Amino acid sequence: MLTAQQIYLIFPILGAICGAMLWLNYFKRIDLLEGERIIDVIIAFVIGFLTPSITLWIYYGLGVLDIKFNGDFTNDFLYSLLGVGLSEELSKLLGVFIVFKLLKKRINEPVDYLVFAGIVALGFSVRENFIYYNNYGSQIITGRTFISCLVHIINTSICVYGIYRSRIFNKGNIYLNSIIGISLAVVSHGMFDFFLTQSFLGDFTPLLSSVVYLIGINFWMQMINNAINFSPFFNYEKIASTTKLYTTLFTWYLIIVVIEFSYAYYYKDLLFALKDIGKNMLNEGFLLVIVALRTSRLKINKGKYLVVRLQLPFYLTKNDDEDILFLGLPIKIRGESEKELRFLKYIGKEILICPLDQNQTIIKKERKARLIKKYFLKNDVVTYLVEIYSENNEKNNMYILKPKTSNAGNIDQTYPVAILMSENNNMNLNKDKQTPSYNELKKVEMVYIKTLHEK
């Protein structure tokens, strides 16, 4: 028979393991161009798991000096940045450098730096989470897994991106990049903890932590995006499958919900368990959806470097590419949705452009065409440049295809649907220097595309 203490430990152990599996599965899916060996992943995770010992010694030393949270605004703010943020980020960074030294020959594409850094941070977070679960109970599993784990991963990735940005992308000065990267990570980590533990704005103060968290997620995905765009193993068709990543995150989240529910039911009762899960899912539901969608989206263009900006992972759009209509407002999650990425596999190939409405069409019938390249409009609106052949092949016409992101009926389930658009000013669309905005284009008609053998 298991003792009461052993039973109590089962829940935090399961929670920590499943939390680790959620993000390890994510890293496996995002590093799809050239995956890592399991043994290398284990090495990085174990070293990360050991790094909290460094932080605990630092905290012990600070405690001896009576440097800690004491309720004073200025003291707590500085302690959040320098006591918590700086000590934890430097501890994880030491683990990262050890892993990079041990696995030097295995790091052969830019995204490997972020993947292994993230796994080290995950190991740190899993050990930290286990301590929290053991001390405060396993009713905090979902929040610690989906928020705290990712905060650690994001901030360690920011450090590493800054340190290696010059080497990978030939951007900026190595010393300045490193200082900026580590400083951003420390501030991000410290501000998250500070807002989470303070109450100067009452119940609204923790919402500021959510803002820091969301901005960090978008920052992280932009870094991963650049790393994948510069991979020597770049492959459009493989990358397109990343849009399914949200199913992995949702699946593991539900498993963790079951563990938390079981804990509450075992130690309390059914009503308490239902209320606990309902409260957590209500509090985390918005973040869950936004994070799952944003972390499954990239803005793919081989060799394209995107400026990493401090932005929320969603915005109001006026470009007919919304993902969600919230209270009538068109909301776009940054990055490319599955419907926008579906066109990647046709790049460089001959296709058929087909009118969606046979009664109102300018192209009149199926027309042979060639999808030339991805074409970003102003503000990085995703479109594709297409050359439609004339009937006698004497003069071909250049158009833009704007992927249709909302439901377009049964055809949308089989063939990609797009808005066929032309330039109003007879601009040469094949010249990158002349980039129009979405509103400058003329909508011709709705079309769908298919390969020649599907004729």
The answer to whether 110 and 231 are in contact (CB under 8 A) is yes
Mean pLDDT of all residues in the chain? 87
Residue 315 inside a domain? The answer is: no
- Domain boundary (262, 281, 305) is at 305
354 and 245 share a domain? no
Q: Which of 36-45, 410-419, 435-444, 446-455 has the highest mean pLDDT?
A: 36-45
Residue 312 inside a domain? The answer is: no
CA contacts within 13 A on the Cβ side of 180: 12
209 and 262 share a domain? yes
425 or 302, which is more confident? 302
Task: Give residue 35's pLDDT band: very low, low, confident or very high (50, 70, 90).
Answer: confident
Judged against a pLDDT cut of 80, whether residue 408 lies above it is answered with no
Percent of the chain with pLDDT over 70: 94
The answer to whether 334 and 314 are in contact (CB under 8 A) is yes
22 and 157 share a domain? yes
290 and 370 share a domain? no
Of the candidate ranges 20-24, 165-169, 279-283, 297-301, the one whose mean pLDDT is the lowest: 279-283
155 and 262 share a domain? yes
Give the Å distances, CA to CA, from 13 to 25, 134, 146. 18, 9, 16
pLDDT number for residue 310: 92
Residue 326 inside a domain? The answer is: no
Residue 330 inside a domain? The answer is: no
Provide the number of structural domains found in the chain.
2
248 and 198 share a domain? yes
126 and 176 share a domain? yes
Q: How long, in residues, is the chain?
A: 455
pLDDT number for residue 208: 92
At 335-351, the pLDDT tens digits run 888 888 888 888 888 89
In 3D space, the residue among 316, 19, 324 whose CA is nearest the CA of residue 143 turns out to be 19
300 and 411 share a domain? no
Q: What are the residues facing 388 on neighbouring strands? A: 369, 397
294 and 357 share a domain? no
Domain of residue 293, residue span: 4-305
293 and 346 share a domain? no
pLDDT number for residue 359: 80
At 238-267, the pLDDT tens digits run 776 676 788 888 899 899 989 888 888 888
What is 365-403 written as a DSSP string?
A: S-EEEEEEEEEE-GGG-EEEEEEEPPTTSSS-EEEEEEE
157 and 244 share a domain? yes
Task: Give residue 424's pLDDT band: very low, low, confident or very high (50, 70, 90).
Answer: low
At 359-383, the pLDDT tens digits run 878 878 888 899 998 888 887 788 9
